[in-house]
Amino acid sequence: MKLKSSPWRCSMKVVDISDLRSHTGEEVTVRGWLRRKRSSGKIQFLFLRDGSGFVQAIAERSSVSDGVFQNANNLKMESSVVVKGVVKAEERAPGGVELLVTDIEVVQIPEKDFPINKPDHSIDFLMDNRHLWLRTQRQTHILKIRHEIIKAVREFYNDRDFVLVDTPIFTGSIGESAGNTFEIDYFDYGKAYLAQTGQLYLEAAAMALGKVYNLGPTFRAEKSKTRRHLIEFWMNEAEVAYYKHEDNIKLQEDLVSYVVQKTLERAGDNLLAIGRDIGKLKKIEAPFPRMTYDEAVRLLQKKGFTIAWGDDIGADEETAVASEFDKPVVVEKYPKMMKAFYMQPDPERPEVVFCDDMLAPEGYGEIIGASERIHERELLIERIKEYGLDVSSYDWYLELRDYGTVPHSGFGMGIERVVAWIAGLEHIREAIPFARTLYRIHP
RNA sequence: UCCAGCGUGGCUCAAUGGCAGAGCAUCCGGCUGUUAACCGGACGGUUGGGGGUUCGAGUCCCUCCGCUGGAGCCA
Measured from Cα to the C1' atom, the residue closest to B33 is A92
pLDDT score recorded for residue A175 = 55
Residue A267 CA and nucleotide B38 C1' are separated, in Å, by 36
Contact predicate A139/A427, CB 8 Å: no
pLDDT in tens, A77-129: 999 999 999 999 988 776 789 999 999 999 998 888 888 888 888 888 999 89
Determine the average pLDDT of the residues in A226-238.
Answer: 93
Residue A245 has pLDDT above 80, yes or no: yes
Alpha-carbon gap, residue A50 to A415, rounded angstroms: 27
Alpha-carbon gap, residue A391 to A242, rounded angstroms: 25
Residue A342 CA and nucleotide B62 C1' are separated, in Å, by 51
CA neighbor of A83 nearest in space, from A68, A61, A97: A68
Residues 370-409 of A with CB under 7 A from strand B: none
Residue A13 has pLDDT above 50, yes or no: yes
Is the CB of A315 less than 7 A from some atom of nucleic acid strand B?
Answer: yes
pLDDT score recorded for residue A326 = 93
Which of A136-145, A152-161, A163-172, A274-283 has maximum average pLDDT?
A: A152-161
CA neighbor of A197 nearest in space, from A225, A162, A228, A234: A234
pLDDT score recorded for residue A189 = 82
Is the CB of A244 less than 7 A from some atom of nucleic acid strand B?
Answer: no
Determine the average pLDDT of the residues in A336-355.
Answer: 94
pLDDT score recorded for residue A179 = 58
Looking at per-residue pLDDT, the higher value among A380 and A189 belongs to: A380
* Closest nt to residue A125, judged CA to C1': B11
Determine the average pLDDT of the residues in A23-27.
Answer: 94
Side-chain half-sphere exposure of A269, counting CA atoms within 13 A:
8
Neighbours of A138 (CB within 10 A): 16
Determine the average pLDDT of the residues in A135-151.
Answer: 95
Measured from Cα to the C1' atom, the residue closest to B34 is A38
Alpha-carbon gap, residue A155 to A428, rounded angstroms: 24
Domains of chain A: which residue ranges? Answer: 8-108, 130-431
Alpha-carbon gap, residue A26 to A89, rounded angstroms: 11
Is the CB of A256 less than 7 A from some atom of nucleic acid strand B?
Answer: no
pLDDT score recorded for residue A86 = 95
pLDDT score recorded for residue A407 = 97
ipTM of the complex: 0.90
Is the CB of A361 less than 7 A from some atom of nucleic acid strand B?
Answer: no
pLDDT score recorded for residue A91 = 80
Residue A3 has pLDDT above 60, yes or no: no
pLDDT score recorded for residue A295 = 95
Is the CB of A442 less than 7 A from some atom of nucleic acid strand B?
Answer: no
Q: Which of A9-13, A41-45, A291-295, A424-428 has the lowest mean pLDDT?
A: A9-13
* Closest nt to residue A43, judged CA to C1': B32
Measured CA angle at A64 (ends A63, A70), to 5 deg: 135
Measured from Cα to the C1' atom, the residue closest to B67 is A124
* Closest nt to residue A197, judged CA to C1': B75
Q: Strand order in A355-360's β-sheet? A: A163-164, A211-219, A232-241, A408-414, A365-373, A355-360, A329-332, A290-292
Residue A11 has pLDDT above 70, yes or no: no
CA neighbor of A137 nearest in space, from A48, A46, A73: A48
Is the CB of A40 less than 7 A from some atom of nucleic acid strand B?
Answer: yes
Is the CB of A235 less than 7 A from some atom of nucleic acid strand B?
Answer: yes
Is the CB of A439 less than 7 A from some atom of nucleic acid strand B?
Answer: yes
Residues 136-175 of A with CB under 7 A from strand B: none
pLDDT in tens, A171-227: 876 655 555 888 888 898 888 889 999 999 999 999 999 999 999 999 988 888 888
Residue A407 CA and nucleotide B7 C1' are separated, in Å, by 56
* Closest nt to residue A413, judged CA to C1': B75
What end-to-end distance do the CA atoms of chain A give, in Å?
A: 23
Determine the average pLDDT of the residues in A389-409.
Answer: 93
* Closest nt to residue A120, judged CA to C1': B12
Return phi, psi of residue A188, to 5°. Answer: -80, -10
Residue A441 CA and nucleotide B67 C1' are separated, in Å, by 13
Neighbours of A230 (CB within 10 A): 24
Fold entry, domain A8-108:
OB fold (Dihydrolipoamide Acetyltransferase, E2P) (2.40.50)
CATH number of this structure's domain A130-431: 3.30.930.10
Measured from Cα to the C1' atom, the residue closest to B13 is A120
Determine the average pLDDT of the residues in A5-32.
Answer: 82
Residue A328 has pLDDT above 80, yes or no: yes
Determine the average pLDDT of the residues in A17-39.
Answer: 93
* Closest nt to residue A311, judged CA to C1': B72
Alpha-carbon gap, residue A236 to A414, rounded angstroms: 7
* Closest nt to residue A124, judged CA to C1': B67
The confidence band for A8, taking pLDDT boundaries of 50, 70 and 90, is: very low
Contact predicate A61/A42, CB 8 Å: yes
Is the CB of A65 less than 7 A from some atom of nucleic acid strand B?
Answer: no
Is the CB of A302 less than 7 A from some atom of nucleic acid strand B?
Answer: no
pLDDT in tens, A297-318: 999 999 988 899 999 898 889 9
Is the CB of A45 less than 7 A from some atom of nucleic acid strand B?
Answer: yes
Is the CB of A436 less than 7 A from some atom of nucleic acid strand B?
Answer: no
CA neighbor of A235 nearest in space, from A169, A173, A333, A294: A169
Residue A1 has pLDDT above 50, yes or no: no
CA neighbor of A250 nearest in space, from A409, A374, A416: A409
Question: Percentage of chain A surpassing pLDDT 70?
Answer: 95
